[in-house]
Structure 1
Amino acid sequence: MNIKDLQDSVLRISDIYAREHAIDRDRDWALLKLQEELGELTAEHLRLSGRARGAADPQALADEAADVLGMLLIYCDRAGVDLETAMQRKWLKWLERES
């Protein structure tokens, strides 16, 4: 699965969530949710590294990482960011130099 296919699937799921909970998912909402999910990922990281209370759960860390990625994909859609193109320009160009 490529990023665009993943993003399309995440957006479909987000549409379902929005209908069920009557949420307006504009760009600001998506950025705030991304920040919220990053905070939850941070909390799981702290638990796993013994620097926060609560049970350490590697699956919870993975789930929160998935939430961060999902919200990033939603935010990029709302902000008009072509993430595949941006990744090619910003990161993957370094691999071309290796060839």
Structure 2
Amino acid sequence: MELHAVGEAVESVSRTYAAKFDLQRTDEWFMLKLQEEVGELTQAFVDLNGMGRDRGLSGDEKREAFANECADVLAHLLLLARSQGVDLPAAVEAKWLRCGTAPTTDTGFARQPH
């Protein structure tokens, strides 16, 4: 699915969810929800990589939880960007894909080792 279409679908789901639970989707709500989801992604990463206490999850369950939290972060990033009038696919293209090639030292985007 194309990112604009994903954003529109996520917006529809979010609007329905907010109406069902009587939530006000303010600018602050969008930002705080993204932060909440990043925290949950961090916890899923910790679990997936065996850096936390045993929660009784199998490896497959840990991978599924991590994938689900990645999806939540992407969805809430799309919602936040949309709420602020940012066309995220266009911004990614302008920021990351403008050269048409992988980032290199020639473009000032040297990949950092970790």
TM-score (norm 1): 0.92
Residue 41 of structure 1 corresponds to which residue in structure 2?
41
- Cα distance in 1 for partners of 2:102, 2:8 equals 31
- Cα distance in 1 for partners of 2:102, 2:64 equals 36
- Cα distance in 1 for partners of 2:99, 2:74 equals 22
Residue 6 of structure 2 corresponds to which residue in structure 1?
6
Q: How does 1:1-99 map to 2 (within 5 A)?
A: 1-53=1-53, 54=55, 55=57, 57-95=62-100
Higher mean displacement: 57-66 or 89-98: 89-98
Identity %: 38
TM-score (norm 2): 0.80
Count of aligned pairs between the two proteins: 98
- Cα distance in 1 for partners of 2:102, 2:29 equals 38
Please, which runs of 5 or more residues in structure 2 have no aligned partner?
Answer: 104-114
Secondary structure at 1:93 match in 2: coil
Deviations 1:29-85 (A, max 9, x none): 011000000000000100111111223511000000000001001101111111111
| Relative contact order, higher structure (CA 8 A, sep 6+) | 1
- Cα distance in 1 for partners of 2:48, 2:101 equals 36
Displaced runs of 4+ in structure 1, greater than 3 A?
A: none
Change (3 A) 1:96 1:61: closer
- Cα distance in 2 for partners of 1:5, 1:17 equals 18
TM-aligned CA deviation for residue 94 of structure 1: 2.7
1:59 alignment partner AA? E
Change (3 A) 1:51 1:97: closer
